[in-house]
């Protein structure tokens, strides 16, 4: 009875548009009261315990790194380099938006931060160059979704925390899928831009490429430090996040000199607010996950799915469909904590590695960031462009189709995710 009420109350609270963290926390309180064996004070204890983790310290630190690097002028230098790199293509600014998002993804670990940092510069630039406003927002939203696939990735950190999987291997597993998705989005945006007559923004020049590369070199050093340190075993993901914060502050304050001491209060406040939202969701979702585990809900749901079929290919297709559906209505962090226990219970029947499962889950939820009503990249890009979400959603449909094809490749081509992660394991 507790399990049924837990699920039904959560669905009801979502249906009446209750904020994600409040909905999950409210359903958890109902579950504890109905279960009857625990004091409601366990909600507070489990919320604290759910966030009291060395691994999860990386979440606010990576988000803070993104805030610092945006304030420190890093975004502008990365965009200038991307403009020379791909701006000569038809509809060059659209390709620049996606390449810039790929660069920034190696810094922030957050799709929302990616879409906001790059979109604040490129969406107005695309509109001034004659691009349709809703198309500009759709391109930026699609590129922003790469932010959780190319490492560092906050959802991958949470997946590793939940399953015990190596975060370094998960990060390595996201590199090639992220590049695949980025290239496919560039091809699509270039084709659409060519059909609509959007011009290139610059001619290709080796001299300009070298100059902008030199200016962006320190900015590009952040993902190199983060990934290199983790992949070569110099430090953990959490330690790399702390190193990235210090590096970003040094570059922003003393090299680029874009950050003044007086700006630090605003930067720290913004970093605290953005990371506290994610951590609050993790805290309430950990209570829900704890009650679900007591009621053996993950095993029950896994058994129900396995009761329909035990064929690995059909199971993977069903899981992808489930994750895509959940991603449209549930925030990424909450979806991970709610669904990952069920999915890992099914792992022996799927015939895949835990690391590949992590890449599949995160890619699915990245696509969910492009679908209303919870598509955070749509919301961020639409707010920058000034377009209604419905208008941006229509323009994003071709990008969603390409992303689903990429998802199937990630799902059924294990070397794409496992090759680099196995090198890290050695």
* Neighbouring C-alpha atoms within 13 Å toward the C-beta of 316: 20
Q: What angle do the packed helices 20-35 and 332-345 form, to 10 degrees?
A: 50
DSSP state of 386: T
DSSP string, 150-166: SSS-HHHHHHHHHH---
pLDDT beyond 70 at 224: yes
| DSSP result, 4-20 | HHHHHHHHHHHHTT--H
Q: What pLDDT was estimated at residue 406?
A: 95
pLDDT tens figures, 162-220: 888 888 889 889 999 999 999 999 999 999 988 888 877 777 888 888 998 888 888 88
Determine the pLDDT at residue 298. 66
pLDDT band (50, 70, 90) for residue 62: confident
Question: What's the pLDDT at 259?
Answer: 87
Report the alpha-carbon distance of residue 398 to residue 409 in Å, rounded: 17
Number of C-alpha atoms within 13 angstroms, CB side, residue 176?
17
What is the rounded average pLDDT for all residues in the chain? Answer: 83
DSSP codes of every residue in 243-285: HHHHHHHHIIIIIS----GGGHHHHHHHHHHHHHHHHHHHHHH
- The confidence band for 412, taking pLDDT boundaries of 50, 70 and 90, is very high
Query: Which tokens hold the place of 139?
Result: 């391109």
pLDDT in tens, 91-117: 888 898 899 888 888 777 777 777 877
- Cβ contacts of residue 360 below 8 Å, gap of 6+? 316, 319, 320, 323, 352, 407, 410, 411, 417
| Confidence at 409, pLDDT banded by 50, 70, 90 | very high
> How many percent of the chain have pLDDT more than 90?
16
Q: 255: which DSSP letter?
A: I
Which pLDDT value is given to residue 11?
Answer: 78
The yes-or-no verdict on residue 404 having pLDDT over 90 is yes
294-339 tens-digit pLDDT:
777 666 776 777 777 778 888 888 888 888 887 776 777 778 887 8
Task: Give the pLDDT confidence score for residue 128 in this predicted structure.
Answer: 86
Percent of the chain's residues with pLDDT above 70: 96
pLDDT over threshold 90, residue 355 = yes
Q: How confident is the model at residue 426 (pLDDT cuts 50, 70, 90)?
A: low
Furthest-apart CA atoms within the chain: distance in Å = 71
Residues 321 and 49: their CA atoms lie apart, in Å, by: 32
Q: Per-residue pLDDT tens for 68-85?
A: 877 877 778 888 888 888
Least confident residue range of 17-21, 302-306, 404-408: 302-306
């Amino acid at each position: 009875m507790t399990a049924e009420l837990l699920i039904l109350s959560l669905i009801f609270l979502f249906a009446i548009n209750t904020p994600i963290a409040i909905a999950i926390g409210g359903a958890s309180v109902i579950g504890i009261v109905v279960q009857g064996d625990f004091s409601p004070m366990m909600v507070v204890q489990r919320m604290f315990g759910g966030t009291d983790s060395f691994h999860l310290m990386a979440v606010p630190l990576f988000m803070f790194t993104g805030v610092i690097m945006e304030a420190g002028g890093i975004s502008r230098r990365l965009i200038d380099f991307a403009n020379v790199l791909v701006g000569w293509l038809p509809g060059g600014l659209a390709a620049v938006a996606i390449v810039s998002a790929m660069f920034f993804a190696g810094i922030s670990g957050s799709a929302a931060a990616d879409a906001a940092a790059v979109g604040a510069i490129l969406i107005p630039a695309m509109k001034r160059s004659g691009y349709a406003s809703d198309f500009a927002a759709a391109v930026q939203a699609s590129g922003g979704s790469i932010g959780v696939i190319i490492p560092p990735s906050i959802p991958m950190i949470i997946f590793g925390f939940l399953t015990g999987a190596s975060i370094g291997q998960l990060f390595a597993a996201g590199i090639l899928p992220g590049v695949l998705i980025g290239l496919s989005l560039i091809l699509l945006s270039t084709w659409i831009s060519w059909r609509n007559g959007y011009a290139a923004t610059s001619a290709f020049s080796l001299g300009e490429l070298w100059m902008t590369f030199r200016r962006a070199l320190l900015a590009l050093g952040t993902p190199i430090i983060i990934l290199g340190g983790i992949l070569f075993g110099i430090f953990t993901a959490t330690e790399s996040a702390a190193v990235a914060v210090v590096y970003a502050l040094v570059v922003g304050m003393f090299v680029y000199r874009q950050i003044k001491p007086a700006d630090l209060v605003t930067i720290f406040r913004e970093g605290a607010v953005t990371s506290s939202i994610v951590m609050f969701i993790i805290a309430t979702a950990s209570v829900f996950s704890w009650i679900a585990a007591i009621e053996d809900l993950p095993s029950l749901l896994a058994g129900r799915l396995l009761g329909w079929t035990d064929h690995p290919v059909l199971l993977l297709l069903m899981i992808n469909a489930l994750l895509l559906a959940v991603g449209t209505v549930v925030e990424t962090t909450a979806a991970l904590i709610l669904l990952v226990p069920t999915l890992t219970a099914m792992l022996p029947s799927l015939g895949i590695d835990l690391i590949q499962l992590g890449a599949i889950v995160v890619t699915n939820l990245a696509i969910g960031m492009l679908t209303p009503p919870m598509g955070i990249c749509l919301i961020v890009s639409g707010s920058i462009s000034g377009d209604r979400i419905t208008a941006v959603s229509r323009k994003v449909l071709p990008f969603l189709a390409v992303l689903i094809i990429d998802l199937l490749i990630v799902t059924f081509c294990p070397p794409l995710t496992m090759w680099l992660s196995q090198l890290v394991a050695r």
